[in-house]
Structure 1
Amino acid sequence: MKRKKRGEHLNPLEKSNKAYKASKNIYDDTLTQSKWWSRLYIRFFWSGVNDVEIARQVLNMLPDNFEGSLLDVPVGTAVFTTEKYGRMQNAKITCLDYSQDMLQQAQERFLRMGIDNVTCLQGNVECLPFENASFDAVLSMNGFHAFPNKDKAFKETSRVLKNGGMFCGCFYIKGENRRTDLIVKQVLARKGWFAPPFYTLEELRSELSRYYSSINVCNDAAMVYFKCLK
């Protein structure tokens, strides 16, 4: 009988949670490319994609004077969003993440910055604990490539968004860079940081068109960023 490898008995969400818990001390360094090894990793496997610039592009879709309700899922460690939320004083912001470790780091960041208009919750994007049309905007940065059931995630993020509301974010797409696809398939997905299936650029456009009346999708190599109106 073939022996199961360590972690094979875990469901996708548990596997992802375990992976992000193990990487919590290097997660920010990888995204922000603040270390020499993270810059080398991004340059070789991700064609030098600048996550900081993509994050800036996405966050600029939300004005600093935004006065509505915003859902951030997954919030991660809030490495890109803390300063932005500090400027969005009139917004009511809800941050949700499945990983308690990531959520704790985000909460600590908000506390250090004195940001008091943010509520942090542990939860699952596949079954959001909110009523229909609860939010004026939904933000999802670097999340959908880690969600095991992307169909449910798209349905839920659309369900809780008001008509006329904005959905924006960024994540990995396949078919744009062979080396990126290889590292995702052979390492990131096996370890639990990413979860298949993954979309191509055209598949993503088609999926977003099911839920939104207006979509604007751009990509930088294997990273896509988008703004949609419901």
Structure 2
Amino acid sequence: MDELGSFLGSANNRAQLLSTTLEHIYLALLPLVFGIVFAIALGWVGKRWKPARSVVLVLSNLLYTIPSLALFVVIPSLIGSKILDSINVVVALTIYTTALLVRPVLDALDNVEPTVIAAATAVGYRPGRRFFAVELPLAVPVLAAGVRVASVSNISLVSVGALIGTGGLGVLFTDGFQREYYAPIIVGIVLTLLLALIVDLLLVLLRNLLTPWERASRKKQPVTEEAAA
């Protein structure tokens, strides 16, 4: 406990915690945004062309089985970056996020009622407009569950990047183990858990904002059940 108080009492350590936390957020959430975009694009392809669906699913499963540390090391040779560049973590986690979200995107799109799609087509929606105005919004409740899992996965995997010298809260773990000083390790674990919790709560809030009809349906349900009784 004395070690922990001493560590947090240092102004330099607090400044480092702020810097590493902000870097961790950047390295975790930027790939999440990119991964969502790519997964939606691949999901759209898989939804429209059945042969592509199997290829996309198999490829995403294979990509997700690649060890994260190996991918962090291989990425620089593929994109021409330096081994310590943060872009390596962003690219690697974008690949993981995309691979993780492809199936949830397809499941979410499959969950949209065919009658709704048929009705949108009947009133003149072209495929592109129908997808963004009707199918994708209705798929949000199912897709949100996959995004929440991907966010937690990214926040966890960013720490692995510290093993090759990139930033984030993983620096606290490597520093603590090297010096056999456990205060930064404890602080790093707590901050990682808090960050994952905060991001998850924000995603739930965003899901609720994007699906106002879900809230309306939940409010009406007790009234309906009472009337039925």
TM-score, structure 2 as length reference: 0.26
Higher strand residue share: 1
Higher helix residue share: 2
TM-score, structure 1 as length reference: 0.26
Which has more radius of gyration?
A: 2
